[in-house]
Amino acid sequence: MVFDPRLALTFAAVAEDLNFTRAAERLGVAQPWVSEQIRRLEERLKRRLLVRTSRRTELTADGLAFLPYAQAMARANEAAQRWAGELRAGRQESLRIGAVDFVTEYPERTELIDRFMHARPQVDLQIHNGTAEEVLRRLLAGDFDAVLAFDTSIGDDPAFRVGTRVCRRYAALMAPREDPIAALSVAPLSAVDRHVVVTSPGRSDPVALRATYGALTANGAELFPAPEPNRRTIENLARARRWCCLKWTVEPEPRQEVGDMVCVPIEGNPLTLQLAVLRAAQAPRNSLVDQLVKIGAGLYAESMEPGLKSPLG
């Protein structure tokens, strides 16, 4: 004999308190529906399971005999619902990341995302690239859970905090071979006085640009923005005009010739860029962001090992 298992679940709910009203409330249905389900079950089993008077409800002998089976079905139903709920919650978990479009060329950014997806493959990972102003504004608005940008992108704004730094880049001066800077083994920042330095246009992240190049202008350099934030474009423009530019490396490197240009390390390595995972200071705790930060911190530790350029080459 096959019958609707919902009949047994209804019977188990009634038998728990021996009260039709409370069973209806627990099941979220009207009391007449509960009575109808019990009537159908008894009809199906051809057994009387409950005796109901104006004062109370009692289980019959057949009701007592059937109750363990009904309760087992109820427990199995609850377990199945919990499993389905956990499965749905796992699949629906999402991490929304805003990223400054300038950092897409960083291999560590790709590695960070790859490692997170490997650790949490069930998470719906959403990445939106944009300017620093846009992604940081949307981070505060709650549209994003975290932002990938430079640690200098937020300036001194207390509305943001650095979750972790992911990697670092060091700046060297690239100068024409005939420039006096090219003859130096290490260049002090004062060497840029009255030099033109080609820079990124800074449209994506003007705050980080000012933080990076402010030391050059303070030492007498004139900045000339390239037409696009592309390293090759910046270097080619400097080469064509016989101007200077910055060359970014994973770790400090000694003086070296690059065609008709020469890269010279800057004394004390004062100019650096650090890719970071940024969070809103007042945002609630987010375990997925915590895991992203943990992975990023691991990448940063790897990149800072003495003599190790980068885990990514």
Q: Among 26-40, 188-202, 229-243, 290-304, which is the least confidently predicted range?
A: 26-40
pLDDT of 262 higher than 50:
yes
Q: What is the structure's pLDDT at 110?
A: 92
Mean pLDDT across 21-28:
82
Mean pLDDT across 271-298:
95
Q: What is the structure's pLDDT at 27?
A: 80
Q: Which fold, 5-91?
A: Arc Repressor Mutant, subunit A (1.10.10)
Q: What is the structure's pLDDT at 306?
A: 53
Q: What is the structure's pLDDT at 98?
A: 95
Q: Which fold, 167-272?
A: D-Maltodextrin-Binding Protein; domain 2 (3.40.190)
Confidence of residue 2 (pLDDT cuts 50, 70, 90): low
Higher pLDDT among residues 262 and 80, named by residue:
262
**Span 73-88, pLDDT tens digits:** 888 888 887 777 766 6
Q: What is the structure's pLDDT at 311?
A: 31
Listed in order, the ranges of the chain carrying CATH 3.40.190.10 are 94-166+275-303, 167-272
pLDDT of 307 higher than 70:
no
Contact 67, 74 (CB under 8 A): no
pLDDT of 176 higher than 70:
yes
Listed in order, the ranges of the chain carrying CATH 1.10.10.10 are 5-91
Q: Over the chain, what is the mean pLDDT?
A: 89
Distance (Å) of CA 101 to CA 127, 140, 175: 11, 18, 27
pLDDT of 310 higher than 60:
no
pTM metric for this prediction: 0.67
Mean pLDDT across 91-118:
88
pLDDT of 296 higher than 90:
yes
Q: What is the structure's pLDDT at 87?
A: 65
Q: Which fold, 94-166+275-303?
A: D-Maltodextrin-Binding Protein; domain 2 (3.40.190)
Q: What is the structure's pLDDT at 52?
A: 83
- Among 312, 289, 274, which Cα is nearest to 110's? 312
Distance between CA 279 and CA 290 in Å, rounded? 10
Residue corresponding to tokens 């109901």 = 52
**Span 134-169, pLDDT tens digits:** 999 999 999 999 999 999 999 999 999 999 999 999
Measured from the Cβ of residue 21, the count of other Cβ atoms closer than 10 Å reads 11
